[in-house]
């Protein structure tokens, strides 16, 4: 049986690297909101493949996102819409059975993404090279020093851990960028 561990790594960025990461997270968030609005206008579309066909080139051109990120955006939006559709169906069942008397309103406006997060695919958008994290930005890859729990760092460096998708996040109150693997 496999054990899943989420490693949280702090990125030790220079001010220039911070600006590049900030730009890519803002572009990613804007692409999510653009795709969400388009999916809403197309009948609250929750099919990731159809959504990707409609927005991929727009995302690449308008937001200058790398190819893999432009693929991650419609998948993430479609997953949100699927979740909302399941809540609508569950609410309809509850209305019929009398458990609730309120209609679920989660799909009335298009979902809006506010968090400054970005999904990176391992060996496409990010990797670990010579003790540094290599992350793709709008202006190309950058190499950043990182720190974290020693047991997580040992697993990453030894190659024993199977590394998957990473989410990079920051907030206005927490200044550094973090990567959750």
Looking at every residue in the chain, the average pLDDT score rounds to: 88
Residue 163 has a pLDDT of 85
Domain presence at residue 92: yes
Residue 120 has a pLDDT of 93
- CA dihedral of 125, 130, 133, 134, whole degrees rounded to 10: -40
Residue 169 has a pLDDT of 86
Q: What strands lie across the sheet with 116-120, from one edge to the other?
A: 116-120, 166-170, 177-180, 8-12, 140-147, 132-137, 126-129
Cα–Cα dist 175/61, whole Å: 29
Domain presence at residue 3: no
Higher pLDDT, 37 or 158: 37
Domain presence at residue 134: yes
If one counts the domains in the chain, the total is 1
**pLDDT above 90: percentage of residues in the chain:** 50
Q: Domain containing 122: what range?
A: 8-180
> Are the CB atoms for 167 and 126 separated by under 8 Å?
no
Q: What does the pLDDT look like over 52-80, one tens digit per residue?
A: 999 999 999 999 999 999 999 999 999 99
Domain presence at residue 22: yes
Residue 169 host element (H or E): strand 166-170
Domain presence at residue 1: no
Binned at pLDDT 50, 70 and 90, residue 96 comes out as confident
Among 76, 74, 81, 75, residue whose Cα is nearest residue 111: 81
Q: What does the pLDDT look like over 118-146, one tens digit per residue?
A: 999 999 999 988 889 999 999 999 999 99
> Which residues are registered as beta bridge partners of 128?
133
CB atoms within 10 A of CB 108: 8
Cα–Cα dist 84/6, whole Å: 26
Domain presence at residue 152: yes
Domain presence at residue 2: no
> Which residues are registered as beta bridge partners of 42?
none
Domain presence at residue 172: yes
Higher pLDDT, 17 or 180: 17
């Amino acid at each position: 049986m496999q054990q899943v561990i989420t490693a949280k790594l702090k990125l030790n960025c220079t001010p220039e690297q911070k600006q590049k990461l900030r730009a890519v997270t803002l572009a990613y968030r804007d692409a999510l909101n653009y795709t969400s609005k388009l999916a809403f206008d197309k009948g609250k579309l929750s099919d990731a493949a159809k959504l990707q066909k409609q927005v991929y080139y727009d995302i690449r051109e308008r937001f200058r996102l790398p190819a893999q990120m432009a693929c991650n955006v419609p998948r993430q939006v479609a997953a949100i819409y699927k979740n909302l559709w399941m809540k609508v169906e569950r609410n309809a069942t509850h209305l019929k059975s009398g458990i609730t008397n309120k209609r679920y309103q989660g799909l009335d406006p298009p979902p809006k993404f506010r968090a400054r997060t970005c999904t990176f695919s391992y060996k496409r958008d990010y990797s670990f090279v010579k003790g540094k994290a290599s992350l793709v930005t709008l202006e190309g890859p950058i190499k950043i020093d990182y720190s974290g729990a020693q047991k997580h760092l040992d697993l990453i460096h030894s190659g024993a851990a199977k590394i998957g998708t990473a989410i990079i996040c920051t907030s206005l109150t927490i200044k550094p960028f973090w990567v959750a693997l």
